[in-house]
Structure 1
Amino acid sequence: MAVEPPQQTLQSFHDALMRHPLIRELWNHFPENMFLVRVEDDGHFTVEAANPAQLDTVGRECLGQPLPAFMPAASAEAIYTRYRECVARDKPMRYQEHAVFFDEHGNEQYGYWLTLIVPLHNAAEDPQRVTHIFGISQDVTELHQAREALERHNQALEARVEQRTAELQHANRELRLLNAQLEEMATRDFLTGCYNRRHIETLGQREIERARRYDTSLSVLMVDLDAFKQVNDTQGHDAGDAALKCVAASLQNALRANDLLGRFGGDEFLILLPESNNEDARVAAKRLQQLTHEQTDITISVGIATLRRDDTLESLAARADQRLLAAKREYHRKASG
């Protein structure tokens, strides 16, 4: 079957438009790009017609030409892939595409389009074969650029949010660390590192309440260093501070995990022994005295008191303190004898 040369086909298409004024008006004034592409026997495609909107975009040199004549090969091949799929499926296709083409000066131009292509059959040639593809493309380059700008703006905002979130998380970590340090300062004795008096009293009241709630025993030990005043008087306060730190460390190492140690004042320490009766406390006191002397070469005196029904922390500590005084008198009696 003879194939109509491109120029003859173009004239035929132009004549058909001239015979239908409404179609001619639509073709000439439709604001979006419209084009008619011939499907060649060798699998290539030739532009047979383009409306004025399309010609304003790619120029009149596209007429009668295959796509690679007025656009880079990569863009032409991407469009050809769509055309081949349309021909193979023999169904309309709608898609968004990005294409690069040459302007009248040979410079590359690019754009984005929403494209609809429709397969057509020329019954006079072969009613079973797709002979043409008719297409309409809407230029959405500005919309695409606006969307890209919006995405870049959103990405910048997300980056700022991530940065501010990281800064906030860092500030929160710093605040938690500072709070922990403040809590440590508020509850710990600055010299020995054990609990200070205010906090050991708070813990002591809590342990009394727990012992009564669960009907368990509770004992306290009041401890002080023997001959501490002599150390301060003869060796100085630095030596006294060193002795306090050594004894506090020794006591802490010798206690159970649930026992609580606090500096009560001067060289006195208060130790809470949960779930310990009087006998348990005596055993603990002897162990502390022995280990402290072995580790620090310092002797300590200990007063013991076990919780009674009507005790408060004040009365319990006072009773332990009285027994500490008795132990100190015994220490001095032996030392002077």
Structure 2
Amino acid sequence: MGHPLIRELWNHFPENMFLVRVEDNGHFTVEAANPAQLDTIGRECLGQPLPAFLPAATAESIYARYRECVARNKPMRYQEHAAFFDEHGNEQYGYWLTLIVPLHNADDAPQRVTHLFGISQDVTELHRARDALERHNQVLEARVEQRTAELQYANRELRLLNGQLEEMATRDFLTGCYNRRHIETLGQREIERARRYGTSLSVLMIDLDAFKQVNDTQGHAAGDAALKRVAASLQSALRASDLLGRFGGDEFMILLPESSNEDARATAERLQQQTHELAAISISVGVATLRRDDSLESLAVRADQQLLAAKREYHRKVSG
């Protein structure tokens, strides 16, 4: 360090600088260290091999780097996690960004690496800040994951609630089949579909025979039970594409897509038979099939007229 500028640089350079002698026995001895390096590991490092002042694991890890640099005979830059003893003999840990450069003594064999010059930058605080940021990010990610899970759960609950509300808005609370408003909406949709594809559509209007008598003699609870039994027996006898709705009171409407008048009458007879067998209740049925100029209202009116005729026939048979 004879040149004044070199000596000035050596004494005041803020990063650790050191000169290590390559021994013939495979060890490395610290020949010189600038004040910054001495402040870190103490003056006792001078003239000593690394294991004399570093924990064994750290010394061996550094030796491995030094041997590699000597073997390659090229500068090496790397990051290391090293342990060292402070001036009080306490073991400390740190992270270092290190550059080591192989040097050759011209008076010796020119190809033989005799020394390693190194500069180490202490990046421990940077590492700690990065680790703290990583931990903070993990906490944030965990919170985001938790909030996402909570939001997904809330969305599922909302979809379920909306489905329940939609079900309540479209279903008759007593029988579970569609209510009048929704069966009319579905009816209009089926009419449009039938006209678009040129298919048939029939409507059944159904009424419970002697329903008033059940209410008057057995009470409204018995009447409600009869309506539920009839709705269940009707639904069990229909196709998946058929649509059942409570039209009002003891009257039901059934939409039969792709059913001709003949098909609808056969369905009506089957429903009458099954309702009588399963629910022990007699029903009357009116049938109407879609015409070119029909609306849902006119279609339902014609089916209702057929229903009234069927009711008159029922009463004639009962009274006769």
Asked whether the two chains share a fold, i.e. TM above 0.5, the reply is yes
| Map 1:1-337 → 2, pairs under 5 A | 17=1, 19-337=2-320
* Cα offset, 1:51, TM superposition: 0.5
Letter in 2 for 1:51: N
Percent of aligned pairs sharing the same letter: 88
Secondary structure of the structure 2 residue equivalent to 1:263: strand
Alpha-carbon distance between aligned partners in 2 of 1:185 and 1:113, rounded to the nearest angstrom: 69
| TM superposition shift of 1:126 | 2.5
CA RMSD of aligned residues (A): 1.2
Q: Mean alpha-carbon deviation: is it higher for 39-48 or for 187-196?
A: 39-48
**Secondary structure of the residue that 1:195 maps to in structure 2?**
coil
CA distance in 1, matches of 2:170, 2:67: 80
CA distance in 2, matches of 1:274, 1:98: 78
Instruction: State the SS of the aligned residue for 1:221.
Output: strand
Three-state SS of the structure 2 residue aligned to 1:174 is helix
For 2:181 and 2:213, the matched residues in 1 are separated by 28
- The alignment's TM-score, normalised by the length of structure 1, stands at 0.92
Between the aligned partners of 2:274 and 2:54, the Cα distance in structure 1 is 93
Aligned residues: 320
Matched position secondary structure for 2:285? strand
Deviations along 1:55-88, one digit per CA (max 9) or x if unpaired, are 0111001111122222211111211111111111
Query: What TM-score results when the alignment is normalised by the length of structure 2?
Result: 0.97
Look up the SS of the partner of 2:24 in the other structure.
coil
Distance, in Å, in 2 between the alignment partners of 1:237 and 1:200 is 25
User: Unpaired runs of 5+ in structure 1?
Assistant: 1-16
Separation of aligned partners in 2, 1:110 and 1:244: 83
Q: In structure 2, give the amino acid aligned to 1:239.
A: A
Q: Give CA-to-partner distance per residue, 1:244-297, whole Å, 9 cap, x none.
A: 111111111111111100000011110000111110100111111111112111
CA distance in 1, matches of 2:40, 2:118: 15
Q: In the TM superposition, what is the alpha-carbon distance from 1:128 to its structure 2 partner? A: 2.2
User: Counterpart of 1:136 in 2: which secondary structure?
Assistant: strand
Residue in 2 that maps onto 1:5: none
The ranges of structure 1 where at least 4 consecutive aligned residues each deviate by more than 6 angstroms after the TM superposition are none
* Counterpart AA for 1:244: L
CA distance in 2, matches of 1:39, 1:193: 92
Structure 2, unmatched stretches of 5+, are none
Question: 1:188 & 1:88 partners in 2: Cα distance?
Answer: 85
Q: Secondary structure at the match of 1:276?
A: coil
Structure 1 stretch displaced more, 299-308 or 146-155:
146-155
Q: Distance in 1 between matches of 2:87 and 2:236?
A: 91
Distance of 1:135 and 1:54 partners within structure 2: 11
Q: Deviations over 1:137-181 (max 9, x none)?
A: 011111111111222222222222212211211111111111111
